[in-house]
Structure 1
Amino acid sequence: MKIFSSLAIAAVALAASVPAMAQFQKPEDAVKYRKAAFTVMGAHVARIGAMANGRVPFDAAAVAENAALMETMSKLPWAGFGPGTDKGDTRAKAEIWTEQAKFTAGAEKMQAEVAKLNVAAKTGNLDAVKTAFGAVGQSCKACHDVYRKD
């Protein structure tokens, strides 16, 4: 039931995010939205990472729940990168807007790797989770290295 509730909430959030850019009153609202989406996704990444790296005991059900939420969350932040959102309280680099095709490809790569992690999580196999989690981390790092200010 807990997984169903989480997935239902995530599905509603996803449905609400589709027209999100049209709903932002100001560019600052879009920045807040994308930062919040990344923060929530990061929390779920950290939970899986702690298990994949052996810092906490492996819990297959928890990994599956967090991976499912990550897959949904991986689709949300991109609506927050619209016109005018390159200014203000953001760590986003200008290259996001000057290299839009590369940035989009990086976002799609991350989403694909998160989807693979979700599949691996459903197996309950720690080794499969570790492999898929490593690929997620690499895709995130590749984008952060180029498009995020430290």
Structure 2
Amino acid sequence: MLTPVHAQFAKPEDAVKYRKNSLFVMQQHWARVGAMAQGRVPFDAKAAQDNMDVVSTLAKLPWAAFTEGTDKGDTRAKAEIWKESAKFKEAADKFQAEVVKLNAAAKTGNLDNLKAAFGSAAPTCKACHDNFRKD
């Protein structure tokens, strides 16, 4: 199992790029699973598993890049991330726990399992965006 990244960034803008890129790639794979769970595209068990493997890895990465000094520049991060760091960490941890469950559900190859787990995981993603991301 991969461990979370504890990255050291040369410049604050490097940390911003790192987290934005990891979140962007994760969202691309998340959306593919979501489309299957929501019936917008046909269910493909192998594709769901493959995409969730990527999401599971990426879900561990962006958090280390929310360091002091990365609240400025090309970012949509709200100041609440640093003002309410315990709440932000709790939201990130909850999301990661739901991703583990969703990944396990994808590995069953069962659409109903995937739908149920996605239904539980999606609100954790949205909650973090609602509380900690600028529009």
TM-score (norm 2): 0.95
Deviations along 1:83-123, one digit per CA (max 9) or x if unpaired, are: 10001111100000010000000000000000000000011
**Corresponding position: 1:58 with 2:43:** yes
Tell me the secondary structure at the aligned position of residue 123 of structure 2: helix
Q: Tell whether the 8 Å contact from 2:5 to 2:60 is kept in structure 1 after alignment.
A: no
Residues in 2 aligned to 1:67 and 1:132: alpha-carbon distance in whole angstroms: 12
Q: Which runs of 5+ in 1 are unaligned?
A: 1-10
Give distance in 2, aligned partners of 1:41 and 1:135: 17
Q: Is residue 2:56 matched to residue 1:107?
A: no
Q: Structure 2 regions of 5+ residues with no counterpart?
A: none
Structure 1 position 19, deviation (Å) = 3.7
Q: Which residue of 2 aligns with 1:121?
A: 106
For 1:82 and 1:108, the matched residues in 2 are separated by: 17
Q: Name the SS of the counterpart of 1:146 in structure 2.
A: helix
Q: State the AA in 2 paired with 1:18.
A: V
Residues paired across the two proteins, number:
135
Counterpart code for 2:90 = A
- Residues 40-75 of structure 1: CA deviation (Å, up to 9, x unaligned): 100011110111111111000110111111111100
Give 1 or 2: higher helix fraction. 1
Within a 5 Å distance, the mapping from 1:12-31 to structure 2 comes to: 18-20=5-7, 22=8, 24-31=9-16
Partner residue of 1:137?
122
1:3 aligns with none
In terms of mean alpha carbon deviation, does 135-144 or 103-112 score higher?
135-144
**Is 1:148 the equivalent of 2:129?**
no
Following TM superposition, by how much is the alpha carbon of 1:132 offset from its aligned partner in structure 2, in angstroms?
0.7
Q: How much identity, in percent, do the aligned residues show?
A: 64
**Take 2:6 and 2:61, find their aligned partners in 1: how far apart are those partners?**
11
Alignment-mate amino acid for residue 112 of structure 1: A
Match of 1:41 among 26, 29, 40: 26
Runs of 4+ off more than 3 Å: none
